[in-house]
Structure 1
Amino acid sequence: MNITEPSFDENEIALLRECLSSKWVTQGPMTERFEKLLATRHQVKHAMACTSCTAALHLATLALQLGPGDEVIVPAFTWVTSAHCAEYVGAKPVFVDIDLSTFNIDPRELEAAITPRTKAIVAVHLFGLSAPMDEIMAIARARGVAVIEDAACAIGTTYKGRLVGSIGDVGCFSFHPRKAVTTGEGGAVTTNRDDLAVRVRSQRNHGATGAPDASDEPHGPWTMATFDNLGFNLRLSDIQAAVGVAQMGKLDNLLSERRRLADRYSELLSKMNSIARPLGGDVEGHTYQSYVIRVLDGGRKRRNELMTALAAENIQTRPGTHAVHRLGYYADKYRWRAEQFPNAILAEDTTITLPIFPKMSNEDQDRVVDFLDKACRGSS
């Protein structure tokens, strides 16, 4: 049993055929269509598709004009590119610990980490659960700090009724195959700020800044764009966007099914005292890109034993994600001490992501929970 599977049908095939028949396959009308769907869904003025959420995070730091001497606060338990985006522009990621009940940034640790050099906070909505945005925004606004919402896992996620990606200064989304909506690889930047949108559109398109001044030379077939920025080629293709348009058409059903499966997991696991279920935070808005449990006893060794037992039954699992500060690049460069972020380490060492995917049957779930229960009790 796979940990997840994308949901494809004839809708994706039809839109791919439409795209290929048009002969326009680079960024173009299909990408614009996809962007409009994203902007409408997440209630933002601007949605700009790009090659990945990693690219989106990079574009966000560029648009905010972060650079050397600046500090960017990042939760210590997240995917590595939440921190990489600061490194890309020469800023310094400053890790803070998480709340184990949500796996998201702890506002108390966040506030303690603010310095005069802090210029941005990366608020990760991990596994599809919103970070505590009221507290984060209050801290940020009081100090004039920008907020980047890392919503890689969180398309459709809400926080107290508000769509994530519309709360901070800029949002970043992923359409990797493990996400609820996929374009194979792909990402998007969202914002309500016109100035940031202008910069993102330029930076994802080689640094193009529009047509030259027509007073210097009348525009004609010879007219080419100006390039006043040093940019990148981070554009999404219309082929990928065609898949995204089809995926957006089934988003509500996909999220509804994930929530149903997650609620059922939580009920099935409720009598297993050695397992912590994902019940913290604004669970009403959780979209469960991943259903992540935590092993309460036995640490990493016990967690690994349980994952091994499930693998023996062809049930695929993964750890939740990384304690980024102890990965080689960051450990070598910044020498963070492991004990500075105990919850992040505990989360890395004791989390298990259980299978959750469209059309997962009750029998599939029963099988996962049955074998997990047997492994927890030491049965073969």
Structure 2
Amino acid sequence: MINIFQPSVGVEELELIKDIFKSNWIGLGSKTNELEEQLSSKLDVSSENVTLTNSCSEAIFQVFEYIDFIIGEEVILPSMSFLGAGNAILEVGATPVFCEVDERTLNPSVEDIESKISPKTKAVFITHYGGLPCDIDGIVKLCDKYNLILIEDSAGSPFSKYKGKNVGIFGDFGVWSFDPLKVMTMGDGGLIYSKSRYDMIKLREQRYLGLKSSTGFSNKIDKKWWEFEISTHGRRSIVNDLSSSLGLEQLKKVDKFIERRKEISCFYDENISKLSWLKIPPKFPDYVESSYYFYWIQVEKNRDELANYLKENEIYTTFRYYPLHLLDYYKEFKTDLPITKKVMMNTLLLPIHQSLTDDDIAKVVKTIKKFGKENEL
């Protein structure tokens, strides 16, 4: 089976993990600190503005819990968002207000976000779809105009750039994912960015049981080192050095990973763009750099048949993200989003990851063309 997503790990990662075992310490420690330093350096921010968590889902929950919502305050987000975002909003007693996406980029519509703003709106949560940066200028301007908190979901957009600046650091908070299906992996893990260093101090405490950094959070040997204080009733969301050592090696390779993904994306563009019955992703503006996490096609008819045909030929595809407003659990927040509904019915993600061979992607293209010919499309 040609997988749509797949991690790329090798002997280098294994050697680092061996070193961790030899150290007799596999919990939160120096490797995690080192990874935070290196990630922040690559993002071009201070390490005092970031913290690692055990997953991106947990990072999202931590951010929403920290913001301190009043019950009933609203968060605007695309219905085509990761489920964890909607769940985190509900967890803190806030109300999700779902907005439309652009039909081609699948990023949130600035115009529709503005149309959804009300006196109860407190925050905007955006997703950089598949590694393609949103219209950041428009969204930041909107949030500044209405004094709204901006949270960026950069889970699949590590080191994607908008006008030379990494996405995820334009807003008040940003989150990234390093799970097994992402561009780089820690096995599982996430990262939080906060524009405010004070907020990051508090977030660091919150993600480790609320332990104050001056007490149990620190490795410093005090007179009575077993004593501690807490600033809040946080959860244990820290990362261990096993995961961080994996992340350190992946970070060395991530530029090559993204370059290979770009090659695959260009191959698809060149070989299926002339098929009249489907659309490829839109051409990116010159000021945008993508991580190429997703490659999507849009098929007005026969999308499901194509997906099944590819699966029968050992090629796995999918659609992300299933609209939250269509879930039974979210039925009280149901709204009319015709563009989102259309996108849900015509969009398909093709395999794209750095472990794909040239033969793999040639097979994907050949099978798509064969489907079109057999169905007289």
| TM-score, normalised by the number of residues in structure 1 | 0.93
- Confirm or deny that 1:377 pairs with 2:373: yes
C-alpha contact 1:43 1:166 (8 A) present in aligned 2: no
Q: Which residue of 1 aligns with 2:32?
A: 31
- Tell which deviates more after alignment, 41-50 or 133-142: 41-50
Shift in Å at residue 219 of structure 1?
A: 4.2
- Structure 2 distance, partners of 1:320, 1:275, is 18
Shift in Å at residue 67 of structure 1?
A: 3.7
Matches within 5 A, 1:106-125: 106-125=109-128
SS in 1 for 2:258: helix
Matches within 5 A, 1:233-248: 233-248=236-251
Shift in Å at residue 72 of structure 1?
A: 0.7
Deviations 1:91-138 (A, max 9, x none): 111100000111110000001111111111111111111111100000
- Confirm or deny that 1:167 pairs with 2:167: no
- Structure 1 distance, partners of 2:233, 2:107, is 34
1:256 alignment partner, one of 228, 241, 259? 259
Which ranges in structure 1 are unaligned for 5 or more consecutive residues?
213-217
Q: Which residue of 2 aligns with 1:44?
A: 45
- Confirm or deny that 1:314 pairs with 2:314: yes
Q: Which residue of 1 aligns with 2:5?
A: 4
RMSD: 1.8
Deviations 1:221-273 (A, max 9, x none): 34422112010111111111110001001011111111111111111111111
Q: Which residue of 2 aligns with 1:330?
A: 330
C-alpha contact 2:6 2:355 (8 A) present in aligned 1: no
1:350 aligned partner, one-letter code:
N
C-alpha contact 1:210 1:225 (8 A) present in aligned 2: no
C-alpha contact 2:79 2:340 (8 A) present in aligned 1: yes
Matches within 5 A, 1:83-162: 83-162=86-165
Q: Which residue of 1 aligns with 2:341?
A: 345
1:133 aligned partner, one-letter code:
I
Shift in Å at residue 280 of structure 1?
A: 5.0
- Confirm or deny that 1:368 pairs with 2:369: no
SS in 2 for 1:25: coil
Deviations 1:157-204 (A, max 9, x none): 111211011111111011111111011111110123112201210111
- Confirm or deny that 1:192 pairs with 2:188: no
Aligned residue pairs: how many? 368
- Structure 1 distance, partners of 2:340, 2:245, is 38
1:13 aligned partner, one-letter code:
L
1:22 aligned partner, one-letter code:
S
Q: Which residue of 2 aligns with 1:286?
A: 290
SS in 1 for 2:296: strand
2:353 aligned partner, one-letter code:
F
C-alpha contact 2:303 2:345 (8 A) present in aligned 1: yes
C-alpha contact 2:77 2:99 (8 A) present in aligned 1: yes
C-alpha contact 1:317 1:355 (8 A) present in aligned 2: yes
Which ranges in structure 2 are unaligned for 5 or more consecutive residues?
216-220
| TM-score, normalised by the number of residues in structure 2 | 0.93
Q: Percent identity of the aligned residues? A: 28
1:290 aligned partner, one-letter code:
F
- Structure 2 distance, partners of 1:224, 1:303, is 61
